Amino acid sequence: MISFSFVDTPILKLKKSVLKSCIKDLINSESFKSKDVSFVFCSDEHLLSINQEYLKHDYYTDIITFDYCEGANISGDLFISVDRVIENASNNSVTFVEELKRVLFHGVLHLCGYKDKNSKDKTVMTCKEDFYLDLFKSDLIL
């Protein structure tokens, strides 16, 4: 089951059925099965408090992914700062929708085992994000 919720941020008008289909297709394309994936959209401050409490990091980030995967079954909680997505879209000269899709795909790719801690891994992750952004070009968010 794929779910969406909002904490301390305005509710986004998501095309949930289309978005769920794309997320499931991404997971299947990576040879995994979708179980329980929860997307929680929140404010910078809310995500900062999670970052501080659970990861002992004292900085803003756009997404934190909690991985509960077992074998080929993809499961996790993905917390996304809408504030960071807005700022990153502006900084990267892309639309909010494009940046939000990139962040969503990025989090799911983490659940599929992709990392981004070094430059080689970041390159692979970015290529995968670009691939899925191109594959799912439709306006699936707003």
* Model pLDDT, residue 137: 80
Phi then psi dihedrals of residue 71, to 5 deg: 60, -125
pLDDT digits (tens, 9 = 90+) for 36-71: 999 999 999 999 999 999 999 999 999 999 999 999
Q: Could you give the CA distance from residue 117 to residue 121 in angstroms, rounded to a whole number?
A: 7
DSSP class of residue 58? -
**pLDDT tens digits for 74-96?**
999 999 999 999 999 999 999 99
Cβ count near 100 (within 10 Å): 25
Give the per-residue pLDDT at 50. Answer: 97
CA distance 103 to 110: 11
| Beta-bridge mates of residue 63 | 80
- Domain map of the chain by residue range? 2-135
**CA 23 to the chain's CA centroid:** 10
Domain 2-135 in this protein, CATH class: alpha beta
65 Cβ partners below 8 Å, 6+ apart?
A: 76, 77, 78, 79, 107, 110, 111
